[in-house]
Structure 1
Amino acid sequence: MKSLVRRGLRLTAGLTLGACSALVELLFALLSGLALLLVQAWPRARGAVLRPVHRLARRLAEWERRRLAAYLGVESSSAYTPERALRYVAARWPLGLLGAVCLLCVLIGAAYGAYLFLGWFVSEVNSPSTVLFSGLAGLFLLFLALQGALAVGDLEKKLARHHLGPSEQEELQRRIEELAVSRAGVVEAVHDERRRIERDLHDGVQQRLVALGMLLGRALRGQDPQRREELLRQAHEESRLALGDLREVAWRVYPVALDEAGLGAALETVVERTSIPVRLDYGLAEEPDRPVATVAYFVVSEAVTNAVKHSRATSISVRLRQKATPGQLVVTVEDDGIGGADPAGGGLVGLSRRAAALDGTLVVHSPPGGPTLITAELPCA
């Protein structure tokens, strides 16, 4: 409900500002059209007039781009020509005035609709049927005006995309570049993961196996039964630790619980294995797709591990929720540590690459002194 209200307020502010700029654009269109009409027969004079007209048109188009991005969530390209900016400004002012009409109708409809419920108490009613009819008509006008305002917002997006871009070719080129970058990032992330696994095996399991072999060799060469029994006990303990290290490496590579019990159970395992308190808020009604669940799991696991190792945190909060916009899984990990986490560090860069491979994003906010907040948004439609 809160997100719907915020969206409505942003749309209202965007259309209001758009109506104000439409008046400026209407004046600009009239004056520039008149100036160009007067010099139409003289090419040199027409060129001299076109230069400031194009410059002003681009400034107005940039203002509209910022307004659309801030209030309507519309992103458009900045690589447009002055001619396209001029056509956009000339075509947009009627839409801006239409938005103002829709907002005015919203206010009128809301006033008549409110009178249906409050008019009985604030004034003397001589004709109840008139109040009832006008109130219902006001509610109907309110409904139509709200639909019109939403339609104007959608038309604003289409008009900006049509005149300013990006065009389908530009969008395709941008998408190809993103895929090339994300593919290279995924390959590098795989190499980093392999190096980490090799390092864990070498520093952990391999060292214990070497110690185990040495203990067994000494036990085989020993003549003292009591000493041999002591060495065998040490070898048994070393084998148990090696098995634990091997399970730890396998768990970090890919948790079995993710396949068998789902993302929620796998994250509960992370919570149980963490040495400091972790509060898990799992707000997902449905299990996400396996690639998304895998990335979400590793974001939480790596962020929690980093917090335990480097942040001096005393508590960690993990939250998963479905964004109001359909198809977005939001994962946040926050700790109360000392902050200063480097987004360019190996672990966080690997997580960014994992998220980018799914067209997702990972943002790290970790000022010195803390707290550290890691937010990942993953498409899960």
Structure 2
Amino acid sequence: MFPLVRGQVAGAARWIADQERRRLAWARSEPAPPPLRSAGPRVFGYLAARALPALLGGLVTALLVTGVALAGIVVRSVLAGTMTVPGLLGQVLLGITLLTLNLQGFVTVAGLDRRLARALLESSTREELERRIGELAASRAEVVAAVDVERQRIERDLHDGLQQRLVALGMLLGRARRSPDPERTRALLDQAHADAQRAVEEMREVAWRVYPSALAHSSLDEVLAMVAQRSAVPVRIDLAPHPRPGRPAETALYFVACEAVTNTAKHGAATVITIAVGPNATGVEMVITDDGVGGADPDGSGLHGLARRVAALDGRFEVRSPPGEGTTIRVELPCG
């Protein structure tokens, strides 16, 4: 019984503290802070200390209401002609004094509220460092796992595609060597030459998926145009002027675009894909949308690997894919 009540009280305290933090962030024109993870002593301490600003705020509000009531009485007296000029001047002076006290009171209460919130709700430097270290350790482990998954994918591409083609090429050349018919030999050599060309193309595809060499001498916009050209589904690219991110960020954006286009072509049943790239408050943002069937699994190996790659660069990765409404992938990365 008591643990249940304690849990409910803690949840209510955390919710109230979150609302207060959002209100203060809105007053400072700042983005909404992340929700608190737990209602510890600092949260309860803030709610207890918050009683003082609440009391002062109530007094200031009562003073404001009193001033408004007195102003109404003065206006009514002036209209009725029952107030003398000295009395009117005195009431105006009193009104200005009350208004000044009200403004000063509101500013003081707001400042006290902010200081209490910063002191009792915001993470300390040590806590922030510990949280950051934990995130970096998790990101490092996820990046290692993503690299292993990528290596397995490359091994499958080489084994199932290029290796099989090279084996077939060797068999064609062997048949050409053994053939006594010159015409037959020439036909086999032509076929072997065509297979060798296709093997080279497959090797380029594998190398391109490992790392897009075009990024070394081309911009992200040009590389995305190449991705669009290689797509089986029409791709529309919408580019807005934006600061060029660093090479790791460009590489991450490229892989997100490739994975999204590939998934849509295989499973999305879409007629068009839109890739929009532009600036945001912290760097660059890329939004990929399609008009397919939706239902993409954010926890699938492909999308989850991309999320880990983006998180390792201090970015944000979001997937929205309701069934029947297409898929939207949003990536935000810093430019530094």
Q: Which bracket does the TM-score occupy, shorter chain normalised?
A: 0.7 to 0.9
Q: Corresponding residue for 2:283?
A: 328
AA aligned to 1:288 is: P
State the Cα distance separating 1:95 from its structure 2 match.
Answer: 8.9
State the Cα distance separating 1:268 from its structure 2 match.
Answer: 0.9
| Residues 1:311 and 2:264 are matched in the alignment | no
Question: In the aligned structure 2, how far is the partner of 1:99 from the partner of 1:303?
Answer: 56
AA aligned to 1:359 is: D
Determine if contact 2:245/2:334 at 8 Å carries over to the other structure: no
AA aligned to 2:16 is: W
Q: Could you tell me which of 16, 33, 36 is aligned with 1:74?
A: 33
Q: Corresponding residue for 2:66?
A: none
Per-residue deviation, residues 68-121 of structure 1 (Å, max 9, x unmatched): 337631346434316522454145448968999xxxxxxxxxxxxxxxxxxxxx
Give the match's secondary structure for 1:319: strand
Question: In the aligned structure 2, how far is the partner of 1:314 from the partner of 1:298?
Answer: 21
| Residues 1:247 and 2:207 are matched in the alignment | no
Q: Could you tell me which of 241, 259, 272 is aligned with 2:216?
A: 259
State the Cα distance separating 1:234 from its structure 2 match.
Answer: 0.8
Determine if contact 1:84/1:164 at 8 Å carries over to the other structure: no
Q: Corresponding residue for 1:340?
A: 295
State the Cα distance separating 1:64 from its structure 2 match.
Answer: 4.0
| Residues 1:359 and 2:319 are matched in the alignment | no
| Residues 1:85 and 2:46 are matched in the alignment | yes
AA aligned to 2:46 is: A
State the Cα distance separating 1:156 from its structure 2 match.
Answer: 5.6
| Residues 1:203 and 2:160 are matched in the alignment | yes
| Residues 1:278 and 2:229 are matched in the alignment | no
Question: In the aligned structure 2, how far is the partner of 1:368 from the partner of 1:58?
Answer: 33
AA aligned to 2:40 is: Y
Determine if contact 1:216/1:232 at 8 Å carries over to the other structure: yes
Per-residue deviation, residues 159-218 of structure 1 (Å, max 9, x unmatched): 323112322222222112111111111001111111111111111111111111000011
AA aligned to 2:241 is: L
Q: Could you tell me which of 327, 332, 335 is aligned with 1:372?
A: 327
Determine if contact 1:68/1:75 at 8 Å carries over to the other structure: no
Question: In the aligned structure 2, how far is the partner of 1:255 from the partner of 1:98?
Answer: 65
Determine if contact 2:320/2:328 at 8 Å carries over to the other structure: yes
Give the match's secondary structure for 2:298: coil
Question: In the aligned structure 2, how far is the partner of 1:366 from the partner of 1:285?
Answer: 27
Determine if contact 1:88/1:160 at 8 Å carries over to the other structure: no
Determine if contact 2:232/2:265 at 8 Å carries over to the other structure: yes
State the Cα distance separating 1:357 from its structure 2 match.
Answer: 0.3
| Residues 1:292 and 2:262 are matched in the alignment | no
Q: Which segment drifts farther, 281-290 or 216-225?
A: 281-290
Q: Corresponding residue for 2:64?
A: none
Question: In the aligned structure 1, how far is the partner of 2:113 from the partner of 2:195?
Answer: 69
| Residues 1:178 and 2:135 are matched in the alignment | yes
State the Cα distance separating 1:241 from its structure 2 match.
Answer: 0.5
Q: Could you tell me which of 230, 234, 243 is aligned with 2:187?
A: 230
Question: In the aligned structure 2, how far is the partner of 1:99 from the partner of 1:242?
Answer: 80
Q: Corresponding residue for 1:162?
A: 119
Give the match's secondary structure for 1:160: helix
State the Cα distance separating 1:374 from its structure 2 match.
Answer: 0.8
| Residues 1:63 and 2:63 are matched in the alignment | no
Determine if contact 1:320/1:331 at 8 Å carries over to the other structure: yes
Runs of at least 5 residues in structure 1 that lack an aligned partner in the other structure: 1-54, 101-144
Q: Matched residues, percent identical?
A: 48
State the Cα distance separating 1:154 from its structure 2 match.
Answer: 8.8
Question: In the aligned structure 1, how far is the partner of 2:306 from the partner of 2:276?
Answer: 17
CA RMSD of aligned residues (A): 3.2
Runs of at least 5 residues in structure 2 that lack an aligned partner in the other structure: 1-7, 27-31, 62-102
Question: In the aligned structure 1, how far is the partner of 2:111 from the partner of 2:152?
Answer: 49
Q: Corresponding residue for 1:212?
A: 169
Question: In the aligned structure 2, how far is the partner of 1:207 from the partner of 1:213?
Answer: 10
Give TM-score, length-normalised by structure 1: 0.66
Q: Corresponding residue for 2:91?
A: none
| Residues 1:349 and 2:310 are matched in the alignment | no
Determine if contact 1:61/1:85 at 8 Å carries over to the other structure: no
| 1:104-183 correspondence to structure 2 within 5 Å | 159-183=116-140
Per-residue deviation, residues 240-263 of structure 1 (Å, max 9, x unmatched): 100010011111111122120111
Cα distance change, pair 217–58 in 1 and its aligned pair in 2 (3 A): closer
Q: Corresponding residue for 1:138?
A: none
AA aligned to 2:304 is: V
Give TM-score, length-normalised by structure 2: 0.74
Could you say which structure has the higher helix fraction? 1
Number of matched residues?
Answer: 280
